[in-house]
Amino acid sequence: MVTVGVVDEVLGSVREIARRQLPPGKSVLDADESLAGLGFDSLKLVGFVVELERDLDITFPADLFDASTFRSLRTVADAIRSLTAEPA
C-alpha cells in the first residue's frame, strides 16, 4: 500500500518537473488537467519525459508510452509509482 505522503511526494516532483517545461506564469498545475490543457505539445512532452527519467532515476518502458500514461500529471505520477513500487 502506498501512503499519502509518498503519493504527495511523487506528484509534487512531477509537478515541479512539469513546471520547468512550461512558460512562466502557470504557477498552479491541476493534477487532473490534460497535459495538452496545461500547455504541453510533443516537444515539451519529450523534454518532460527526459527530465522525469533523469531527476527521478527511472526509465519508462516502451509499454508505458501511451496516451493513458501521459494524460495528466496524476497519471504520470501513478505510472512512476508503479515503476518504483516494492514487489509484494
Q: What is the pTM of this model?
A: 0.86
Q: pLDDT for 19-73, tens place per residue?
A: 999 888 776 789 999 999 999 999 999 999 999 999 999 999 999 999 999 999 9
Identify whether the C-beta of residue 15 lies closer than 8 Å to the C-beta of residue 29.
yes
Q: In terms of DSSP H, where are the helices of 22-41?
A: 35-38
Show the domain range for 49: 4-22+31-84
Identify whether the C-beta of residue 74 lies closer than 8 Å to the C-beta of residue 11.
yes
In this structure, how many other beta carbons lie within 10 angstroms of the beta carbon of residue 24?
6
Identify whether the C-beta of residue 78 lies closer than 8 Å to the C-beta of residue 68.
no
What pLDDT, on the 0 to 100 scale, is given for residue 88?
A: 58
CATH of the domain at 78: 1.10.1200.10
Residue type, 31: A
Please tell me the distance from the alpha carbon of residue 73 to that of residue 44, in angstroms, as a whole number. Answer: 14
- With cut-offs at 50, 70 and 90, classify the pLDDT of residue 8: confident
What pLDDT, on the 0 to 100 scale, is given for residue 87?
A: 66
Work out how many domains the chain is built from and give that number. Answer: 1
